[in-house]
Amino acid sequence: MSLRIAFLGLGHMGRPMALNLVKAGHQVTGFDPVDAVREAVAKEGIAAKPSIAAAVDDAQVVISMLPTGGHAREAYLGDKGVCAGAPAGALLIDCSTIDVDSARLIAKEAASRGFAMVDAPVSGGTGGAAAGTLTFMVGGADDAFGRAEPVLQAMGKAVIHTGGPGTGQAAKICNNMVLGISMIAVSEAFALADKLGLERQKLFDVSSKSSGQCWSLTTYCPVPGPVPTSPANRDYKPGFTAAMMLKDLRLSQAAAQAAGAATPLGAAAASLYTLFVNDGQQDTDFSGIFKMISGE
Ligand code: NAD
């Protein structure tokens, strides 16, 4: 079924996601504050509008892909934002990675104004956004999830209902805390292997078939060679930047502190990525932390 969809935030992720909605036959309006972005998407089948209000005014579904919780609060709850301008009954889907508290606040306000809403952050990066193979982690009521699922399927390969409002964001930051810690663990193992005279390929051959096996090793190996498609083979060109990893680790640390959860390895990972980013490596792929750990 063709829907009228408003897409807010047409950056590295949002633009290819919105284009997949166009390809799926939906009528897509879009807003981004950057003039050049609006001009570019207008040539690609997205009706670019000059404001959020203009983009959402007859939308059946509103989707957003914004940088932070502050941007999302402003876009949804501001005077000229989505909740003030979207038609009653519209379905709201925030795909940004933001803090759990902001996601729950926006969902509560949206519900009080009669909107169904889900938080639906993604895994899969810009490659997954372009290929339409993202994984969506979706927090919200059953009926809102039921309406969101077919829309999200046009942009992804897996759409998982994680529970009530905010649980999509919780799943995202827990998953990325595992990823940050495991990338550091794999990097430490290769750095130690180097010092012990163990060839990198041999460590890979053993660990990829042993209990050290994990995604950071076998899909995204942080040293060049064993996995030809990993960013290590193209001088750590991203992929997923160190700045993005640090953002997600900080979100997990803020959530852990607020919830009283002990995450000592998550805290260490956040500190190590802070050192890496402060060293000017914010735009390096996050697997480049191997260079810092090994001293290369
Ligand atoms: P980006 O900076 O490329 O895009 C964000 C866009 O939002 C920008 O074009 C910006 O101009 C626009 N924007 C800012 N305020 C706005 C507003 N009020 N209304 C409409 N648009 C507005 O960032 P990105 O890489 O596309 O990431 C977007 C979100 O996706 C982030 O929350 C990020 O953590 C998450 N994410 C990114 C990746 C990745 O690999 N890039 C992977 C998973 C999740």
203-253 confidence digits (pLDDT tens): 999 999 999 999 999 999 999 999 999 999 999 999 899 999 999 999 999
Three-state DSSP class for residue 43: coil
Closest CA to 244 of 129, 73, 123, 120: 123
Q: pTM to 2 decimals?
A: 0.95
| pLDDT (average), residues 118-145 | 96
Q: Which two tokens stand for residue 35?
A: 């003039």
Three-state DSSP class for residue 141: coil
96 within ligand 1 shell (Cβ under 6 A): yes
Q: Whose CA is nearest to atom 22 of ligand 1?
A: 9
8 within ligand 1 shell (Cβ under 6 A): yes
> Which is the closest atom of ligand 1 to the Cα of 96?
32
> Which is the closest atom of ligand 1 to the Cα of 244?
34
> Which is the closest atom of ligand 1 to the Cα of 238?
40
31 within ligand 1 shell (Cβ under 6 A): yes
CA 272 to the chain's CA centroid = 21
Q: Which residues make beta-bridge pairs with 163?
A: 139
| Domains of the chain with bracketed CATH | 4-164 (3.40.50.720), 170-294 (1.10.1040.10)
Contact 146, 123 (CB under 8 A): no
Q: Whose CA is nearest to atom 39 of ligand 1?
A: 125
Per the document, the length of the chain is 296
Contacts (Cβ under 8 Å, ≥6 apart) of 140? 107, 116, 117, 118, 119, 148, 164, 165, 168
| pLDDT (average), residues 122-134 | 94
Contact 164, 200 (CB under 8 A): no
122 within ligand 1 shell (Cβ under 6 A): yes
pLDDT at residue 136 in the model: 98
Closest CA to 56 of 13, 93, 21, 109: 93
Would you say residue 255 has pLDDT above 90?
A: yes
Three-state DSSP class for residue 158: strand
pLDDT at residue 185 in the model: 98
Distance between CA atoms of residues 51 and 54, nearest Å: 5
240 within ligand 1 shell (Cβ under 6 A): yes
Catalytic residue numbers?
A: 172
Which of the listed residues 7, 8, 13 should we mutate to test ligand 1's pocket, taking the one with most ligand atoms within 8 A of CB?
A: 13
Q: Whose CA is nearest to atom 10 of ligand 1?
A: 9
97 within ligand 1 shell (Cβ under 6 A): yes
Closest CA to 104 of 174, 22, 166: 166
Q: How far is CA 277 from CA 24, 43, 81, 249, 292, in A?
A: 38, 36, 33, 13, 11
pLDDT band at 151 (very low <50, low <70, confident <90, very high): very high
